[in-house]
Structure 1
């Protein structure tokens, strides 16, 4: 099943469980992809027949080993392209996702390797997501979602969800970026010891070192 649509499904299934453990359901997959549930059902059947996912009716969708390998290959492409656009073309971190969605399906393996080498084999993309290496290996520190961090916890920002460009711009304006240290207090969140008024949705979109 060599198709961009199949790759997008596999990538989405993998990404859903990358920062939490609950598997993705077909309805969640439909919502994330913006596709009708009936279309998702048909594609999941095809992916299952191809040995890329496992699925039982009304149950969760899980990647097989072959599906995971292919999903990681696509994520490598996507995240290297995002990093390339930021570092080489001065894109902002809220501008790269849609560009990468297009380019990841078109560039050659040779160009991808060249991008990786030129960037110095980066381990993380601009949003803090780990970039798989050529073998599919990923390096990631233990993490906690900001919404789940207990008062007194202090940690570096490991990752910011890239799905909402408006939220990314708002966080950037506040100085919240990958690598900055946030501290959770009983009254809220502190940045460099100062109270931080986070925009709606931020607590569920920021991951800190555990």
Structure 2
């Protein structure tokens, strides 16, 4: 299949994920991914900056959609509900394919550098949410609590979704926020 044929990015992603599972992340080279996808290494670099970005390339889309959801919420929305709305937008993107999410998580958990990169991406997302809340005029203490709490709730919901075939990611997120509210009310 030539590089000019449509879907090269998706083929590259699929090839990379399968090779990462088969050989391990460190043992998989860009040339291997490109060959498996039926394209050149040059085509790979048109789609991804490096082989790690196959796992992390949705970050810009996630940030954009989450901020749009946060900014589009009514002015009277609480900080935690703003974060929940933003994370639901994230769930709409991330929750498209559970099997890819499972493979991605397996690959990341098997590599210390990728786990670190994943933590950095989560921290960046938390900072983006916090900045969005500040722009809405919410105070620093509430901003930090809402953004950090929302990030933790998202991670719990994501794990539940990946491991439970009966929930979609938005449902897992809604349930996790509901449990948090129950814990707060009981406290």
Report the TM-score, using the length of structure 2 for normalisation. Answer: 0.30
Structure with a larger share of its residues in helix: 2
- Of structures 1 and 2, the one scoring higher in RCO (CA 8 A, sep 6+) is 2
Report the TM-score, using the length of structure 1 for normalisation. Answer: 0.27
